[in-house]
Structure 1
Amino acid sequence: MTRKCVLATCQLNQWVLDYDGNRDRIIEAIKTVKAANATLILTPELCIPGYGLLDHWLENDVYAHSWDIAAEIIACPDCQDIIIDLGLPIQHRGCNYNARLIALNGEVLAIRPKLDLCNDGNFREMRYFTPWPRGRFEEYALPEVVQALPRQQKRCPIGECAIEALDGSFASETCEELWTPNSPHASYSLAGIEIVLNSSGSHHELRKLDARINLIKEATAKTGGVYLYSNQRGCDGDRLYYDGCALIMSNGEVLAQGSQFSLRDVEVQTAIVDLDSIWAHRTSRSRGMQANEPSVQKLKRIPVDFRLCHPSLTLLTRPTEPREPRYHLPVEEIALGPACWLWDYLRRSKAAGFLVPLSGGIDSCATATIVYSMCRLVVSEMQAGNEAVLADAKRLYGEGFSANITAKQMCNKIFSTVFMGMQQQSSKETRTRAKELSAAIGAHHIDTNIDTMVQSLHTLVADTLGFEPKFKVHGGTQSENLALQNFQSRSRMVLAYALGQLIPHSRGGAGGLLILGSANVDECLRGYLTKYDCSSADINPIGGISKTDLKRFIKWAETAFELPVLQQFLDATPTAELEPITHDYVQSDEADMGFTYDELSILGRLRKTFKLGTVGLFQHLVAEWSERMKPRDVYQKVRDFMYYYAVNRHKMTTMTPGLYLESYTPDDNRFDLRPFLYPRFTFEHRKIEGMLKTMEEGEAGVNGA
């Protein structure tokens, strides 16, 4: 008789500390998969309290509340006759652990703590949790809330273990453990375990999904077996977007894959798996010899009187057919990820909508286009009958709401754009582009000038200091020129917040608008923005996206969203328009910065992702850029980059929270933990000067010969 079973995984849009909501979403997932005859369900990492609690993990309340919810779930009548793998934090013998709770019919079968903690990039798990030692296995005293359940269970096993049902076996690994060189799934497979469960809190990053899928493919292709992957999806309260994509794989092939971007709070994946099909992948003699290593066979096994295989699955039942994995293009990821993140933020904050200062440039254009993408997703989900989205959309839209509204109508209700120009600095072209884009997406648009605000500040400063500051085109110094530009940009921030608070009231509504920032990752890296100007906002959906990727996104959206106006933004020269326009001068971003945006992307990625310092940057780029730049010119680029990075680093300490999407984001608040007061890198400069001297002397010798 073949051993066929229905296995299930899920992706849940959990929210930090939303215990009731998180419980309800977990139970909804369990009910859904039970209807499909599933006998095992995997849920995301730390799904009971939510993943991104940060320093809330240091509070005893979180552990107590998590157990309260766990007890409610395992005792729920809808959650019986199925093995449930839940994520929650636990305390044991004076330590905190990120753990899995495996339960069946109101009984805790085992607790499996996380072995390898994620402690780099966006994650600081070792600040809160202790890694569980491999092979350790002991007893855990269950809290009173579990002891009070009908089974009156007082203790359960805790540690690295496998569950042996009557007709199959499984073991858990958690998120980071998949990415480590010594992943537990390898030894579990050698030990004969047929199903590996991976609960995850994996964040979205552009172009990352293929790496994740390849790791899971490799995990089952070598020695065979089934791999279930569950992930959180959505904004759980921080700068990350978790991108779901729950997976079921068998013997290196994808059987089921969840969506990566969606407004659905609960999504499940099931597959019919024949456990006997694993045997053909495990007949290698070399594998058999490795399987007999004493360390492999030490894995503790917990027997459970339960069948994974359902009696309705007969010889005639066909297992789930393999399918090709599905990937989004990076431009689609930009269109969908930030849009989903914005919707979660908007609906959970209970704000009335968004406002963005629309400059007529590519960055604010991209921000506005992403909001329009969000509205398209909302309308699509309403048409599909998503009750949760319908309820939120109705609240936001207000009077006149209909389930048949268009994306442009939704955009008009919840999104305001404002062009804040200056008579001498703002060109007709930028003003027109802003107006036409707003009309194309349906946004409520305001076109105004801020000359009176800026002139009032100018007059006050001149009277206070006793001299009249001038722009450089009028003979002013660099300090005067910069100060006058900042008068404008900071005035725009003040007006944006004033309008954000009052626009809903002026349109007959209530509440306030969230102000969106639109500084891209390269400008943040270079510090090419004014502290407390329009970069100061409530949230920034493009704060982790490079200018290069934003341009590609806008080019794609021109066709995908049927917005021909976007071509104008691609054709325009990037400019802040903070200096007066003359007959022979128009301010240019790339000229001001001394770098192209492509160069900044390369420098940023080498600095952060590849962890290169000043000398390392030069050594790498002197070869990479050798065909278009002399070694001394490369040195000047590196020297200038590190100078501006250092002197502007303080800006990142107050930067608007931006959605993390790029591996070299300079966000000081979470990701880039570097100082903000630097020396002038004189030691590094001496080393590079020595290298240049050697290179130039060698070149002179060759030419002389």
Structure 2
Amino acid sequence: MKETRLTLAGAALNQTPLDWENNLQNIKEAINEAIVNNVDILLLPELCITGYGCEDLFLSPWLGEEAFKRLLQIKEWCDGITVCVGVHIWIGKEVYNTACVIRNKEIVGFTAKQFLAKDGLHYEPRWFTEWPANQVGEFEMLGQKYQIGDLIYEEQGVKYAFEICEDAWRPNRPAERHMAKGVQLILNPSASHFALSKTDVRYRLVVEASKKYQCAYVYANLLGNEAGKVIYDGEVLIAQNGKLLKRNELLSFKNVDLELAEVSFSENSEVATEIEYLPPIDENREVMAALSLGLFDYMRKSHSRGFVLSLSGGADSSLCAVAVAEMVRRGVEGLGVLGFLAKTQLFPLKDAAYFDTLSKAQAIKELVNRLLTCAYQGTENSSDDTFTSAKELAHSIGAVFYSWTIDEQVKGYTSIIEGAIERPLTWAEDDVTLQNIQARVRAPSIWMLTNIKGALLLATSNRSEAAVGYATMDGDTAGSISPIAGIDKSFIRQLLVWCQTELGYEGLQYVNNLQPSAELRPAKESQTDEKDLMPYDVLNQIERMAFYDRLAPHEVYEKLLASGVADAETIQGWITKFYSLWSRNQWKRERYAPAFHLDDYSLDPRSWLRFPILSGGFRSELNQVKGLDQ
């Protein structure tokens, strides 16, 4: 074939389930930008009309009808351009996840997804049906017939086809068949959730495919916190023959992020001998970017007026505070001060005029002051160190800071129960009771402050605590959202050091010098989390081997023993404590506030990891572990 040059583009879109106005506005903006830049083919993300996170609403026929009506609107915007739009299609009682190709205001066809995501977070087979390879069908909608299936398309003599998200992650991916059919371009519309370092895997997936199949490959992902828990990084990749042509900045605060590249197609296209791989991504930097964008979208899409935080001065609440400050900093860097104000839809015009007079640094601090309210709720068991940690951090980032004590409320509840049971409560006999009442008494006041502000209450539990139930239900688990429940305590501790040294949050110097402690027992006991539980590094290893690697308790024991982390008796004690506490506290995990998915797995029973509330508690399996050294 003679040389053909096509301008290809992919656009990341920040969509919201059922928000037709927002979703179509973003689609229209992407199409208009592509037309202005003389783009030949524009790729939009998977299910971008409805939003990917519609869950069981995909089973409602009316949603499919509404989505198709919007598709017909979009069709009229595609003047002189080919646009690929993600939409679901009903045929009889089956629902298909498709990419619709519109060329110059005409629908050419629908490619249906062949492999459905069904592991981890994904439950696509609940809603959609897989399409068989190499089959093409027809359906009728609103009096018009359309082709659907495993289709090959053509643009100016260049053949192209699709892999839809999960399709590309399978060994027998559609690209294996496309090459033999003369396909020179593969388009991949995706809704690929954020997880630490996942972008490195995705980069290899796309660039290596472009080399192996001697084609151009365009990838476009969703962007932002679409539906509450899942964050999308908005990655756009364009590669050809093993060479990366374009890659965008991930996790941006934009509504639309379009990237384009001019690509030459000919019979003699040069294929890279070696792929140039990028250095591994900095997981500290990317998790802060994901937290920032996740919080921003959650705030604005829930129409909330900022955040309230019970700032204890410990690691978890300190990270939540810094995440809000970083949300403001990154938002202002990406959108500008006035753009950030406009996108929150929280500030009147007079505020915009005021902020316009401030320097960027002043504006960021003032915005944190408007959007984050912190309160330190001390008891007689709290230390001066944690108070200083909380106060200095809040002041350093500009947050509103209150402090009060709750001893009077604790004594009030304690005296009620002592009168009822006719005996005093003691630490020797009522340890858990006396710890928990301190945590629970903190909830009503902080909820009151949250209601007054019209804000979201940040719960501060982390994944390590969730695994063993080391949290007080209706106390420190209280909140509208639990942003860091998807990452473990060891990661959080080193992340805070990184935030201090690399991002310049000097107010973290206090918490970074403290040992994690609930501070619920008398100070003379020198309570720490790891004394109550086990070393966090060990807890995280057990958790991952048990529920990510899915090993039996005796296999976990053998691996820990082989690593030399401790002697056999100590490891047995840790394993017994972990599995016992895990089983006993499933009900707590069921009740946690919504959490962001940040790592390659989570303990969320409503998405990644289901476990029975009632069980045998691994008794037989733990007895087997006890017998291994006899």
Normalised-by-shorter TM-score class: over 0.9
Match of 1:572 in 2: 514
Is contact 1:413-1:443 (8 Å) kept? yes
Deviations 1:176-217 (A, max 9, x none): 111111111122123220000111101111121111111112
The answer (yes or no) to whether the contact 1:89–1:96 under 8 Å persists in 2 is: yes
8 Å CA contact 1:14, 1:50 repeated in 2:
yes
Give secondary structure in 2 for the equivalent of 1:156.
strand
Alignment of structure 1 residues 42-191 onto 2, 5 Å: 42-76=43-77, 79-141=78-140, 143-144=141-142, 147=143, 154-191=144-181
Pair 1:397–1:410, CA change in 2 (3 A) = farther
1:683 to partner: Cα distance: 2.3
Matched residues in 2 for 1:80 and 1:591: separation? 67
Are 2:493 and 1:492 equivalent residues in the alignment?
A: no
Distance 1:643 1:133 in 2: 46
Query: Do residues 392 (structure 1) and 343 (structure 2) align?
Result: yes
Task: Trace 1:18-37 onto structure 2 (pairs within 5 A).
Answer: 18-37=19-38
Partners in 1 of 2:262 and 2:605 — Cα distance?
46
Work out whether 1:372 is the aligned partner of 2:372: no
- Cα deviation, 1:66-124, whole Å, max 9, x if unaligned, reads 10110000012xx2111111101110132011111111122211111110000111110
Partner of 1:238 in structure 2? Answer: 228
How far does residue 323 in structure 1 lie from its aligned partner after superposition? 8.2
Structure ID, larger Rg: 1
Shift of 1:635: 2.8
**Aligned match of 2:587:** 650
Q: Distance in 1 between matches of 2:622 and 2:478?
A: 34
Comparing 198-207 and 544-553, the one that deviates more: 544-553
Q: Deviations over 1:281-313 (max 9, x none)?
A: 49x9xxxxxxxxxxxxxxxxxxxxxxxxxxxxx
Give the partner amino acid of 1:339: S
Distance 1:278 1:51 in 2: 39
Name 1:340's counterpart in structure 2.
293
Could you tell me which amino acid in structure 1 is paired with residue 119 of structure 2?
Answer: D
CA distance in 2, matches of 1:225, 1:547: 44
Find the residue that maps to 2:152 and give its secondary structure. Answer: strand
Distance in 2 between the 1:675 and 1:377 partners? Answer: 40
Report the Cα distance in structure 2 between the residues aligned to 1:656 and 1:57, rounded to whole angstroms. 25
Measured against aligned partners, the alpha-carbon deviations of 1:612-655 in whole angstroms (never above 9, x if no partner) come to 232332233232x2x33233433332222111111112110101
Q: Which residue of 2 aligns with 1:622?
A: 561
Q: Secondary structure of 1:133's partner?
A: coil
- Mapped to 1, the partners of 2:486 and 2:264 lie a distance apart of 43
The separation in 2 between residues aligned to 1:689 and 1:323, in whole angstroms, is: 51
8 Å CA contact 2:200, 2:281 repeated in 1:
no
The one-letter code of the counterpart of 2:384 is K
| Greater shift in the superposed pair: 441-450 or 654-663 | 654-663
Q: Deviations over 1:376-431 (max 9, x none)?
A: 02222342864xx3313462478544244521110001100000001x21111111
Deviating above 6 A after TM superposition, structure 1's stretches of 4 or more consecutive aligned residues are none
Provide the C-alpha distance between the structure 2 equivalents of 1:21 and 1:74, rounded to a whole number of angstroms. Answer: 17
Q: State the alpha-carbon separation in 1 of the partners of residues 269 and 335 from structure 2.
A: 46
Deviations 1:632-686 (A, max 9, x none): 4333322221111111121101011111112342111222111121213232234
Residues in 1 aligned to 2:19 and 2:99: alpha-carbon distance in whole angstroms: 19
Specify whether residues 127 and 204 from structure 1 end up closer, same or farther in structure 2 by C-alpha distance, changes over 3 A only: same
Q: Is the 8 A contact 1:245 1:258 kept in 2?
A: yes
Please give the root-mean-square deviation of Cα atoms over the aligned residues, in Å: 2.0
Distance 2:513 2:282 in 1: 23
Count of paired positions: 622
Structure 1 pair 559/253, CA: closer, same or farther in 2 (3 Å)?
A: same
Q: Per the alignment, in what secondary structure is the counterpart of residue 260 of structure 2?
A: strand
- Taking only the aligned residue pairs, the percentage that are identical comes to 28
In structure 2, relative to structure 1, the CA distance for the partners of 1:277 and 1:429 (3 Å cut) is farther
- The letter for the 1-side match of 2:587 is H
The Cα offsets for residues 412-466 of structure 1, whole Å up to 9 and x where unpaired, read as: 01100000001x2111111111000000000000011111221111111112222
Distance in 1 between the 2:603 and 2:40 partners? 45
Partner residue, 2:611: 674
1:293-304 matched pairs, under 5 angstroms: none
Contact 1:256 1:323 in 2 (8 A): no
CA separation in 1, counterparts of 2:137 and 2:618? 53
Q: TM-score, normalised by structure 2?
A: 0.95
Q: Distance in 2 between matches of 1:329 and 1:460?
A: 52
**Structure-1 separation of matches of 2:455 and 2:268:** 55
Which amino acid letter does the alignment assign opposite residue 357 of structure 1?
Answer: S
Who is 1:554 aligned against? 496
Structure 1 residue 532, shift from structure 2 partner: 1.4
Partner of 2:389: 433
Unaligned runs of 5+ in 2: none
Question: 54-63 vs 409-418, which deviates more?
Answer: 54-63
Structure 1 unaligned regions, length at least 5: 148-153, 285-321, 505-511, 694-705
- Taking the aligned partners of 2:19 and 2:302, their CA distance within structure 1 comes to 13
